Amino acid sequence: MEFGFTIADQDGEARSGVFHTPHGEVKTPAFMPVGTNASVKAMRPDEVKDLGFEMVLANAYHLALRPGVDVIEEAGGLHSFMHWDGAILTDSGGYQVLSLGKDVRITEEGAKFRASLDGSEVLLEPETSMDQQYRLGADVAMVLDECLPYPSDRERTAASMELTARWAKRCLDSHPGGRQALFGIAQGGTIPELRAESARMTAGLGFDGYGIGGLSVGEPSEVTLAALDASLSELPADKPRYLMGVGDPSGIVEAVSRGVDLFDSVLPTRIARNASAFVSGRRLNLRNASFAHDRGPLAPGCDCYTCRNFSRSYLRHMVMAKEILGLHLLTVHNLFEVSSLMRRARKAIAGGTLSELLDEVRAVEAAE
Amino acid sequence: MEFGFTIADQDGEARSGVFHTPHGEVKTPAFMPVGTNASVKAMRPDEVKDLGFEMVLANAYHLALRPGVDVIEEAGGLHSFMHWDGAILTDSGGYQVLSLGKDVRITEEGAKFRASLDGSEVLLEPETSMDQQYRLGADVAMVLDECLPYPSDRERTAASMELTARWAKRCLDSHPGGRQALFGIAQGGTIPELRAESARMTAGLGFDGYGIGGLSVGEPSEVTLAALDASLSELPADKPRYLMGVGDPSGIVEAVSRGVDLFDSVLPTRIARNASAFVSGRRLNLRNASFAHDRGPLAPGCDCYTCRNFSRSYLRHMVMAKEILGLHLLTVHNLFEVSSLMRRARKAIAGGTLSELLDEVRAVEAAE
């Protein structure tokens, strides 16, 4: 077995440790930058590594549509294709299918939808997804799940959660294992009892790790946290726990304090491309005219490439002139912020001071 | 005087040497990547330097409109603003004014046009341009010139060339000199006699170097070369000669063989953003479906970051998925190709073998 999860330190419910993969160790809690199309947007892979990231996420759903699983398999898999020798997790596409809204039909069999690129009809079954992800060669595959929109009623949520559990079983049965770990996904909408039940069912099947899915889809943050608590209460402590789609600083630290080990989100890279930067836990939009003459760095005291070398005035100019370099420089800074936050969280857990970091991000959140 | 031009080797009319500037030495013949808005598109400044470039071009015309000369002056000038410590040349905007077509009115006074960003009317006079460029702090400023569309008749061409010469005199009279060199621009359309006359008039005014402008605007390449020959015949041999806007490999080597020292062009960076790459002197479009499964490097044998690490298949995927990384990787390769070509040209001149390089690029051109 090339996988393993070692917990080195604990601080309350929080833990720090190492997730061992065939492509190296991932120090947890860890954030995975999102490389939907086999590229972390606006970044070279070596730059992603230099920022301290050890694992990235790619989307099997997107990659199966374009360039096609065969192209990546021929290249020797995703690592070689995208020139990333660290760990990779692929998501199955449950969340992407949700975004298709009424263009998708979910049946016991799987998810049937029109592929966005050429309009052809695609049936994505749990077995298809396992085959795709195995051939893509990620270190970690995710089961195919159904994600619900928020809000969804109890009946719908319960039925969906049970379908996800049946799909999870089919995934487990068809997954070859070996060089690829498989994570289950606990769903259950925003109803704590159902979250707990879904986590219990998923854990009962026995996966290498557990995603907590379907959160941060529009619900208030206290609802997210209650749902998260319910999920975590039923997930085994000795396996990695991955909160899917959460990437804001306070959301990350709240979840870390509850015992989450892995995160992914498009947030740091997407807001960068929308001219926004994380600065002291807040978001600054560089389009703001007040930055036109601001010769200071984006984030005072920040040691990233962007803050060391460029002024807010220059960054604003890049944004206003629609220069690609602006997208890159803001992405670098936002990823550096997240990477630094994860490093601080690991250090705080080791030192037993995570509550201080939590107080800090809560104070920023309250001041928003 | 912080400027100087030293010719070290000659091979026929071609020469290689060093252009000394307050921001370092520029080995000639040299290509200047274009950073219109104070950014070489899709590149970090340190990456531009790592590719071997010692001088870049920026456009005073664009920068005066956005972010405004005051913003850059406050930042301590262009070098500091864009984090580029090599040499910088700013173009005045004569060529950009040409692209405004009938929206610009050229009088003795200057060029009057509506600024593209907010629609306000701008009068760009030779004195304004000198003031702008001096405040921007480039190492080399270019006079304000009138560029003509191709074709233009003899009468129009002659009148324009004379206006450019009167403007050149006004530029010279108002330019403070010192830390900034000033280059004149020889015009004369595509009529060899007028090219020679314009070059003679410009040289007679006595500049630190000479641009050869208004070429490569749609005329056939033999017309370009005849016009270039006529210009060069009247420009002093001991000053740098800069062929404006030429960036294709054969165009560069033809001009080098005639005694040109400096080049700029958007071509390598622009075609990259249009999914095209220079490969063995030809252009390859990565959108071509034949590359979908091509696991080889973009240019076999090429040592650039892109070719060392990524396949044509991956690059095509980046292009098709509209990933920013694709634009970056193709730009890196195209600039590497141009940088390598300039290095080869300098070496060939030193070794007396430029004719071999010329034969090589001509053979590729003939096979197109």
Note the ipTM here: 0.97
What is the H or E stretch that residue A141 is in? strand A140-142
Give the whole-angstrom CA distance, residue B158 versus residue A104.
68
Are residues B136 and B58 part of one domain? Answer: yes
Sheet holding B55-59, edge to edge: B30-33, B262-265, B241-243, B209-212, B181-186, B140-142, B87-91, B55-59
- Residue-wise pLDDT tens digits, B274-293: 999 999 888 999 999 999 99
Q: Are B66 and B117 in contact (CB under 8 A)?
A: yes
Of residues A117 and A155, more confidence is placed in A155
3-class secondary structure, B37: coil
pLDDT of residue B95: 86
Does a structural domain hold residue A196?
yes
In total, how many domains does chain A have?
1
Q: Are B240 and B3 in contact (CB under 8 A)?
A: no
Are residues B216 and B301 part of one domain? Answer: no
Are residues B297 and B190 part of one domain? Answer: no
Residue A165 to chain B, least CA–CA distance (Å): 33
Does a structural domain hold residue B358?
no
- Residue-wise pLDDT tens digits, A6-31: 999 999 999 999 999 999 999 999 99
Average pLDDT for runs of 10 along chain B of length 368: 91 98 98 98 98 98 96 98 98 87 91 85 96 98 95 96 98 96 98 98 98 95 97 98 96 98 98 96 95 98 98 98 98 98 98 98 90
Q: Are A42 and A269 in contact (CB under 8 A)?
A: yes
Q: Examine the fold and report which residue of B265, B284, B316 is the final residue of a domain before the chain moves on.
A: B265
Selecting among A91, A145, A208, A248, the annotated active-site residue is A91
Tokens of B53: 């470039």
For residue B292, the chain A residues in CB contact (below 8 A) are 67, 71
Are residues B243 and B134 part of one domain? Answer: yes
Tokens of B220: 């056939």
Does a structural domain hold residue A313?
no
Residue in B closest to A307 by C-alpha: B83
Are residues B113 and B38 part of one domain? Answer: yes
CB contact under 8 Å between A75 and B311, yes or no, is yes
Q: Does B287 touch chain A (CB under 8 A)?
A: no
Which among B39, B45, B75 has CB closest to A295? B75
Are residues B276 and B256 part of one domain? Answer: no
Q: Examine the fold and report which residue of B265, B291, B309 is the final residue of a domain before the chain moves on.
A: B265
Are residues B39 and B8 part of one domain? Answer: yes
Sheet holding B14-21, edge to edge: B4-11, B14-21, B24-28
Does a structural domain hold residue B363?
no
Q: What is the CATH number of the domain that holds A9?
A: 3.20.20.105
Residues spanned by the domain of B295: 272-333
CB contact under 8 Å between B71 and A313, yes or no, is yes
- Residue-wise pLDDT tens digits, B17-51: 999 999 999 999 999 999 999 999 999 999 999 99
Looking at chain A, list the stretches that DSSP marks H as alpha helix, in order from N- to C-terminal side: 45-50, 60-65, 69-74, 78-82, 94-98, 126-136, 154-174, 192-205, 221-232, 249-257, 267-273, 305-309, 312-320, 324-351, 354-367
For residue B295, the chain A residues in CB contact (below 8 A) are 74-75
User: In 3D, which of A282, A298, A299 has the Cα closest to residue A365?
Assistant: A282
- Residue-wise pLDDT tens digits, A312-354: 999 999 999 999 999 999 999 999 999 999 999 999 999 999 9
Q: Does B39 touch chain A (CB under 8 A)?
A: yes
CB contact under 8 Å between A327 and B324, yes or no, is yes
Q: How far is CA A214 from CA A182, A241, B154, in A?
A: 18, 14, 72
pLDDT of residue B239: 98
Residue of A41, A325, A327 best to disrupt the B interface, most CBs of B under 10 A: A325
Q: Are B186 and B235 in contact (CB under 8 A)?
A: yes
- Residue-wise pLDDT tens digits, A29-62: 999 999 999 999 999 999 999 999 999 999 999 9
For residue A71, the chain B residues in CB contact (below 8 A) are 292-293, 313, 317
Most confident range (mean pLDDT) of A158-167, A359-368, B109-118 is A158-167
Give the whole-angstrom CA distance, residue B76 versus residue B72.
7
- Residue-wise pLDDT tens digits, A289-314: 999 999 999 999 999 999 999 999 99
For residue A44, the chain B residues in CB contact (below 8 A) are 305, 325, 328
Are residues B151 and B107 part of one domain? Answer: yes
Answer yes or no: A50 catalytic: no
Does a structural domain hold residue A244?
yes
Are residues B222 and B121 part of one domain? Answer: yes
Chains A and B: how many Cβ contacts under 8 Å?
108
Active site (catalytic) residues of B: 91, 264
Are residues B325 and B260 part of one domain? Answer: no
Give the whole-angstrom CA distance, residue B13 versus residue B15.
7
User: In 3D, which of B265, B221, B219, B253 has the Cα closest to residue B95?
Assistant: B265
Are residues B280 and B206 part of one domain? Answer: no
Q: Does A115 touch chain B (CB under 8 A)?
A: no
Does a structural domain hold residue B155?
yes
First-to-last alpha carbon distance for chain B, in angstroms, is 46
Kindly tell me the burial class for residue A349, based on how many C-beta atoms sit within 10 Å of its own C-beta (0-12, 13-18, 19 or more): buried
- Residue-wise pLDDT tens digits, A266-281: 999 999 999 999 998 8
Does a structural domain hold residue B367?
no
Are residues B122 and B161 part of one domain? Answer: yes
For residue B37, the chain A residues in CB contact (below 8 A) are 317-318, 321, 323
Which among A43, A82, A323 has CB closest to B37? A323
Does a structural domain hold residue A131?
yes
Average pLDDT over all residues of chain A: 96
CB contact under 8 Å between A74 and B293, yes or no, is yes
